[in-house]
């Protein structure tokens, strides 16, 4: 159909695809390269802040490393982020490195569709401001999309004290490999951020992909606390050690103690120890990846299951 042919030239790909992936994702690997060294950081890097766009890892990869994402099945490079060392973070004996993203490029689309799609997406971002776009320039959003080439799992984070309870979605989360730490990057405007800094306890529920609608509905709780656990559109049950309500149908529940938190630009970067880890149940978890990654996989007849 002529419409299928013309569509990519007039309409940009969606920035994000919400997909169902059985964790842990292994479809894309991430490697840090610097001064003749290469280290696999698939489970040892995370987005630590959106403005400035920053990546944290437990690997000290020198001043200007490159983070490379590759399709694990074919070995093809999918994208690169060129990094510049910003700071070192020392926490309870573990050392982490924080890098600013200096530039990036992806290889998911061929020329000339790649620059043309970027141009269409950037034009749309300028025309339709959203919370992301208020915070970040279009070029930084393009770099953020590259950081999501390793599909990022979505969790629901629960917080509970005598005077405050809440549950909201996060995907700027993940383990930092050898350091043994688990990180959460939360916008400093989040209504529970100060409570988390005080009580130092949170519970993560890994949500099944089928819960997408409920998860997105809960993004309102980044701004407004929850008033009643019973009002949630799904059942919850107390976590094992902290007794904080977690999603009953979660694929996995982890209780985290916050050992440190640092303000890194727009976000508070929480560093945690995993206190308990309820064994995972098999199932597909909600993940995010960029639309150009899904287009790459579709062209190769191996699309992610889109939700």
Ligand X SMILES: Cc1cc2nc3c(=O)[nH]c(=O)nc-3n(C[C@H](O)[C@H](O)[C@H](O)COP(=O)(O)O)c2cc1C
Contact range with ligand X by CB under 6 A, out of 3-11, 141-149, 182-190, 232-240: 182-190
Distances (CA, A) of 157 to 6, 22, 98, 145, 215: 42, 20, 24, 23, 11
Q: Which parts of 227-286 interact with ligand X (CB under 6 A)?
A: none
Nearer to ligand X, 171 or 260 (CB): 171
Strands (DSSP E) found in the chain: 16-21, 28-34, 37-40, 46-50, 53-57, 66-71, 77-91, 94-106, 152-153, 155-160, 165-170, 173-176, 181-187, 201-206, 236-238, 245-247, 252-264, 267-277, 285-290, 305-306
Nearer to ligand X, 16 or 296 (CB): 16
Is position 224 an interface residue for ligand X (rule: CB under 6 A)?
Answer: no
Is position 219 an interface residue for ligand X (rule: CB under 6 A)?
Answer: yes
Q: Which parts of 114-173 interact with ligand X (CB under 6 A)?
A: 131, 154, 169-172
The nearest distance, CB 169 to ligand X, in angstroms, is 4
Is position 209 an interface residue for ligand X (rule: CB under 6 A)?
Answer: no
Cα–Cα distance between 243 and 237 in angstroms, integer?
A: 8
- Residues 64-103, one symbol each (x = binds ligand X by CB under 6 A, - = not), give ----------------------------------------
Chain positions contacting ligand X, by CB under 6 A: 131, 154, 169-172, 185-187, 189-190, 215-216, 219, 222-223
């Amino acid at each position: 159909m002529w419409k299928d042919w013309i569509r990519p030239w007039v309409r940009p790909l969606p920035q994000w695809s919400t997909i169902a992936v059985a964790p842990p994702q292994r479809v894309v690997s991430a490697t840090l390269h610097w001064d003749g060294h290469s280290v696999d950081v698939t489970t040892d890097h995370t987005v630590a802040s959106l403005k400035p766009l920053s990546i944290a890892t437990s690997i000290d990869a020198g001043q200007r490393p490159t983070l490379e994402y590759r399709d694990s099945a074919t070995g093809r490079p999918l994208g690169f982020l060129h990094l510049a060392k910003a700071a070192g973070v020392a926490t309870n004996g573990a050392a982490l490195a924080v890098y600013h993203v200096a530039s990036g490029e992806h290889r998911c689309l061929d020329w000339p569709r790649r620059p043309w799609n970027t141009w269409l997406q950037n034009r749309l971002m300028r025309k339709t401001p959203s919370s992301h776009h208020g915070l970040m320039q279009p070029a930084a959003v393009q770099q953020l999309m590259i950081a999501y080439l390793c599909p990022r799992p979505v969790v629901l984070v629960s917080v509970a004290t005598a005077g405050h309870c809440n549950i909201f979605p996060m995907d700027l989360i993940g383990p930092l490999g050898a350091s043994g730490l688990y990180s959460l990057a939360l916008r400093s405007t989040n209504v529970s951020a100060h409570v988390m800094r005080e009580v130092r306890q949170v519970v993560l529920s890994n949500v099944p992909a089928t819960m997408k609608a409920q998860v997105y509905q809960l993004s309102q709780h980044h701004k407004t606390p929850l008033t009643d656990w019973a009002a949630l559109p799904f059942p919850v049950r107390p976590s094992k050690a902290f007794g904080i309500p977690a999603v009953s149908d979660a694929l996995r529940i982890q209780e985290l103690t916050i050992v440190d938190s640092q303000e890194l630009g727009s976000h508070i970067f929480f560093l945690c120890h995993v206190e308990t880890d309820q064994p995972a149940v098999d199932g597909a978890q909600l993940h995010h990846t960029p639309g150009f990654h899904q287009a790459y996989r579709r062209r190769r007849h191996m699309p992610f299951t889109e939700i």
